[in-house]
Amino acid sequence: MKTSNTLAISSDADKSRPAGHERYFYHSFPRRGKNSAIEVEKGLKILRSIRDFGLLLAPETVKWKQPCSNGTFREFLPVIQKRVCFTEIQVDEIRRHSTAFGGFGLEFDNITIRNIGAVPAFYLPRYTEEFNNLSAIGALLFSIAMDARTIFQSIDKFAEIIKTWNRGDQPTLFQFADESGKVLESTSLDIGEVKKFLDFIGYRVTPFSDMKNGMEAFLQFFQHIHRDKKKAPLDGRVTESILQKWAAPVEKGHARYDELHTALKDLCAQFGKKPNALARISIIQTEEDVHGAIDGDNLVLLLATVFQGLSPAQRSAFRRLVA
């Protein structure tokens, strides 16, 4: 299926396609080099690689910190996450999606994506600067999962040692050490008692090695919600202030308020969703609405606003047109 500058190879290409509201999962590429002269060349290389070797589980190092009640942070070792990403969108949204994630895309239906083991990611919001609220609950839950992984790693290590232990059941010294070999913690444990303990807690449960690997896999699905701190926070009121010369908010009491908000509810209901309680609707104004044609200054502002939303390639094309 080809839509504008986006190539999508469908897992059910022989089926009839709806008007554009059907939703599919897309693996898009190349993210680096998108909207550039080398995009097609890079995209074809990646496509050949997928054909020959399969989808690439790209590694990403993610660092986490747990905010503490005293205003400090508890730091964790980086998590090396390996995954491949799919985005669920409507067919008619491919063009907009491709400008951010690349002009090539592999399309999968819901059944296919589930059959290859895809699992939704957990997006955790960053905590606020204050420590007297619940904004850090996501980081807290993740830190608990990290601790659980460490416990399972230790239990599995004990189990592996005991499997090959041949020195009797006498008390034995165990130590925790860092990468440099510095001892961080030590204790003496009776091997016989450790065996009994592991047999007891391991009764009719998943093997310890599988628990360790399962926790490692579980941590692959947690993602920070990234936001550039240098940019202004996302706020619809900012958008309204920029567009107020050309679009007017539909407030309560407006003749079309009920009509438009009902239409929004119906649209969201098609996907099992409800509009946010703070949702607002604006409508484009006509020349009569703004009491005359757009003057020169406003036209320049409008063009500048549109230009800021263009991709680098589109900006270059625009400059050539007005040069």
| pLDDT tens-digit series, residues 248-274 | 788 888 888 899 999 999 888 887 788
Strand partners, 140: none
How far apart, in whole angstroms, are the C-alpha atoms of residue 43 and residue 30? 6
In this predicted structure, the answer to whether residue 242 has a pLDDT above a threshold of 70 is: no
Supply 83's token pair: 């995954």
How far apart, in whole angstroms, are the C-alpha atoms of residue 90 and residue 3? 12
How far apart, in whole angstroms, are the C-alpha atoms of residue 75 and residue 143? 9
pLDDT at 234: 54
What does the radius of gyration of the chain's CA atoms come to, in whole angstroms? Answer: 28
How far apart, in whole angstroms, are the C-alpha atoms of residue 142 and residue 223? 10
In this predicted structure, the answer to whether residue 130 has a pLDDT above a threshold of 70 is: no
DSSP state of 77: P
In which band, very low, low, confident or very high, does the pLDDT at 293 lie, cut at 50, 70 and 90?
A: very low
- Three-class SS state of 241: helix
Strand partners, 100: none
The 10 Å CB-count burial string (b at 16+, else e) for 76-86 is beebebebebb
pLDDT at 112: 92
How far apart, in whole angstroms, are the C-alpha atoms of residue 236 and residue 205? 50
Answer for the pair 283, 248: CB distance below 8 angstroms, yes or no. yes
How many CA atoms, within 13 angstroms, populate the side-chain half-sphere of residue 193?
6
Of 114-123, 285-294, 309-318, the range with the highest mean pLDDT is 114-123
The candidate with the shortest Cα–Cα distance to 83, out of 220, 225, 224, 214, is: 220
How far apart, in whole angstroms, are the C-alpha atoms of residue 57 and residue 168? 45
How far apart, in whole angstroms, are the C-alpha atoms of residue 126 and residue 62? 13
In this predicted structure, the answer to whether residue 122 has a pLDDT above a threshold of 90 is: no
Of 13-27, 71-85, 92-106, 163-177, minimum mean pLDDT range: 13-27
